[in-house]
Structure 1
Amino acid sequence: MFASKKIVTAAAMLVAAAGAAHAADLPARVAPAPYVAPLPVFTWTGAYFGINAGAAFDNKQEFTTTANRSDGIGNTRFSDSGFSAGGQIGYNYELQGFGGGFGGPGSGIVIGFEADAMYMDTDKSINTITNGGTASFRSGLDFLGTARGRLGYAFNTFLIYGTGGFAYGDVNSRVVSVYNGSTDIQRQSGFTTGYTYGGGIEYALPTGSFLNFFHSSAVTLKAEYLRYELDSSNLNDSSVNTVNLQPGLKVKNEGNIARIGLNYKF
């Protein structure tokens, strides 16, 4: 009986040892890692609207004669600077992955269209001495609008682009010349068309940025340069004294705008 107890004890110890060895071979139980959702890839596709403000510089007004004038007024050109402010609307479409995906996920070619309208603070006058008299030139651009295409490349939340298209502006010009005791007044006021081109960079602001008052990934900040050139316009003679009218004048406006803008994308 004593021998039987030894056998049973030995068998129990053997079973326990085998169980421990098997348990050691089992993989350790580890709690699963918490799920982390992948970060969304930003896209430039969508409509947007925004505001802009900047500097208008080296804005040239060029007066040219349409015929020889006996009062000695020839070609006259001067420039001024000021500021611009306005708003814009537009639409972008990003060709995801097009262009080899250079720059990583969310990078691709972006095509779009933008229209804007700006108040322009550009107005200057100069006085000259002519052959036998004096002349006063004044010209300014009160308003400028553009309708442009855009083509660029996006590096996820960063976009670099070129732009170009149609421009129109509200030009106000006047020339007052005094010759041999007679005063000749010529004016031009109204819309004039032309073209514009330029480029810029745009960046989607982080939701925590102080400029991102919407706290949305759809707010972008841009810096842009535009060159505009408006066609020549004839000045109309409005003199009361029609005895000594002089041949007419033309005026042409062109200039540059450097500005920043803030857009909200739908």
Structure 2
Amino acid sequence: MNKYVLATVALTMSAASASAADLAARPYTKAPAAPVAVGYNWSGFYAGVMGGYSWSDRIRVDGFTAASSDINGGFGGGTIGYNWQTPGSNFVWGLEVDAAGGDVKYRETGLFGIVPVTAEDKIRAFGSVTGRLGVTSGAALFYVKGGYAWADNRLSFTTPGATLFSESKVHSGWTVGGGVEYMFAPNWSLKGEYMYADYSSERYGTVLTGFTDLGVTTHTVKGGINYHFNWGGSSF
């Protein structure tokens, strides 16, 4: 009887040892970690192209303000800038420089006796140096900006086949506005922007023609695309 008991115990212990060996050999697999969402960071240099439309609602001549001056037209140019954004913060600040060439003008033709004379006031180029302050929301950056503005303006009087008078001046002033920029792909963003600019008066003319002090304000709406050289990551 004891022999049967001992045999049973031995068989039981052998089975238990085999089961333990099987358990020890089974590999342990750790559950995969949930992916960590990567946020947008706007810090770094960027450059791009832009274009749009500009118009004026008032012009200053000899100290007087005239409404509906009809200065308007299209433009195109480029932008460079630098952004700073502290990791974990939604606020972005930076500096931006832009310049554009355009065909923003007012033209009117009248008769001087029997000779047609065309007067033209044309903003041939303009630009700005501004500071930007914005707040992010996902892939979007909403911002305001303001600073120094300049415009290359030409005033001329012509007749068919001849130029009676032509003079260009660079006007300096200030600008303020804002817009939204959207990071649609790694390193690439689209923007839409509105700006208001007020340029100082400059004196045009000669002793023979007389002198005129001319100033102007403009509104601009523009769209653009920027490339960010030091793109800080996104959820793409």
Pair 1:198-2:177 in alignment: yes
Pair 1:228-2:167 in alignment: no
Alignment-derived partner of residue 80 in structure 2: 89
Query: Does the aligned pair in 2 maintain the 1:188–1:234 contact within 8 Å?
Result: no
SS for the counterpart of 2:41 is coil
Query: Does the aligned pair in 1 maintain the 2:57–2:67 contact within 8 Å?
Result: no
Alignment TM-score, normalising by the size of structure 1:
0.69
Q: Look up the equivalent residue of 1:253 and give its one-letter code.
A: V
Q: What is the distance in 2 between the residues matched to 1:66 and 1:53?
A: 32
Alignment-derived partner of residue 213 in structure 2: 250
Answer with 1 or 2: which has the greater Rg: 1
With 120-129 and 194-203 compared, the bigger mean Cα shift is at 120-129
| Alignment RMSD (CA, Å) | 3.5
Q: What is the distance in 1 between the residues matched to 2:87 and 2:10?
A: 68
> Could you tell me which of 7, 10, 14 is aligned with 2:8?
10
* Percent sequence identity over aligned pairs: 25
Alignment-derived partner of residue 211 in structure 1: none
Q: What is the distance in 2 between the residues matched to 1:235 and 1:53?
A: 29
Q: Look up the equivalent residue of 1:265 and give its one-letter code.
A: H
Alignment-derived partner of residue 136 in structure 2: 154
SS for the counterpart of 1:32 is coil
Alignment-derived partner of residue 52 in structure 2: 54
* Within-5 A mapping of 1:20-99: 30-34=28-32, 38-56=36-54, 58-60=55-57, 62=59, 64-65=61-62, 78-97=69-88
Alignment-derived partner of residue 233 in structure 2: none
Give the drift of 1:95.
2.6
Alignment-derived partner of residue 100 in structure 2: 118
Distance 1:75 1:24, change over 3 A: closer
> Could you tell me which of 160, 167, 181 is aligned with 2:149?
167
Query: Does the aligned pair in 2 maintain the 1:187–1:235 contact within 8 Å?
Result: no
Q: Specify every segment of 5 or more residues in structure 1 that has no aligned partner in the other structure, as ranges.
A: 68-73, 98-106, 177-184, 207-216, 240-244
| Bigger share in strand | 2
Alignment TM-score, normalising by the size of structure 2:
0.77
CA displacement 1:5-37 (0-9 Å, x = unmatched): 4123321354357668979999x8542345676
Q: What is the distance in 2 between the residues matched to 1:151 and 1:118?
A: 22
> How many correspondences in the alignment?
221
Query: Does the aligned pair in 2 maintain the 1:65–1:75 contact within 8 Å?
Result: no
Query: Does the aligned pair in 2 maintain the 1:186–1:237 contact within 8 Å?
Result: no
SS for the counterpart of 1:15 is helix
Query: Does the aligned pair in 2 maintain the 1:84–1:118 contact within 8 Å?
Result: yes
